[in-house]
Amino acid sequence: MLMDVSTLRAATGDFAENNKLGEGGFGAVYKGTLPDGEEIAVKRLSKGSTQGVDELKNELALVAKLKHKNLVRLLGVCLEQQERLLVYEFVPNRSLDQILFIDIEKKREKLDWGQRLRIIRGIARGLQYLHEDSQLKVVHRDLKASNVLLDVDMNPKISDFGLARLFERGQTQGITNRVIGTYGYMAPEYIMRGNYSVKSDVFSFGVMVLEIVTGRKNNDTTQSDDLLTMVCSIIWEHWTSGTVLERMDQSMDNSFSESDVMRCIQVGLLCVQENPVDRPVMSEVGMMLGSDMVSLGAPSKPASGKGFGMTPTVRM
């Protein structure tokens, strides 16, 4: 699992700019190729980033113990020559947000309704594993479209565990004075009181479901002054008026199953309920998405972003 810095420098062209896949608060991610031809993604911590050191250690401790086809796979770590590097499998089709919100042509080509449904179900399986099925109980805390990577077959893989928290047996929630997250995906109880739980991840999942169905970003400030209610509130208004199919992503050209879409929207709305108690757990979500025989509850009006009192530290 320990890897030489010389190997990773050679693999990435000494962290060449043209190999950079993306950048976040922790530093940058680079594409590389090992001597045996295996492609990798190398997360390189910015020098002098104390927050990043904590996040990297947290990510390493958790991801090394987690194995699931819908989680990105950790291959190794390097802590030499003042470098702090995590090495992951390379996931070739970029992150979900880059196709869903940016690349219109690729979206038409690769994100038909069947593929979107598979992505939704795959994210749900990965999240259920984190919450309920692994030996650990993990709350991700930063679930969003940019942290879902798509492999060569467009299967989703949840990534970026820097903010994740491990829960003790029997623990149902945690609390923090340092609210860190992404506008549009954070649950109201987390923003207002710093409370987080599996149900705050469920909220983030619900937002993503509605984004995948509509092709619209929930925190797109170019279209609304309200950072937190865009897609959720718009979908709710159309749900109550019976016109929700009008909000489908037009790149699908109406080639979708109405019953499947309506079911996904209903599940998404159930996941973004204001009260965490009213949201399903992920095993229930999996059953709802996996069978038409499972009855769904009627959603109430989803959580609103208006009036949230705390100012979180925003992650891009």
Residue 43 annotated as binding site: yes
Q: Is 142 a catalytic residue?
A: yes
Pairing of strands 174-175, 180-181: unpaired
**Nearest 10 degrees: CA dihedral of 115, 120, 125, 126?**
100
**φ, ψ for residue 76 (rounded to 5)?**
-175, 180
Q: What is the C-alpha R_g of the chain?
A: 19
- Residue 194's nearest CA partner among 209, 173, 171 is 173
Q: Which of 142, 160, 201, 249 is catalytic?
A: 142
Q: Enumerate the active-site residues.
A: 142
Annotated binding site: 43
Annotated binding site for ATP: 43
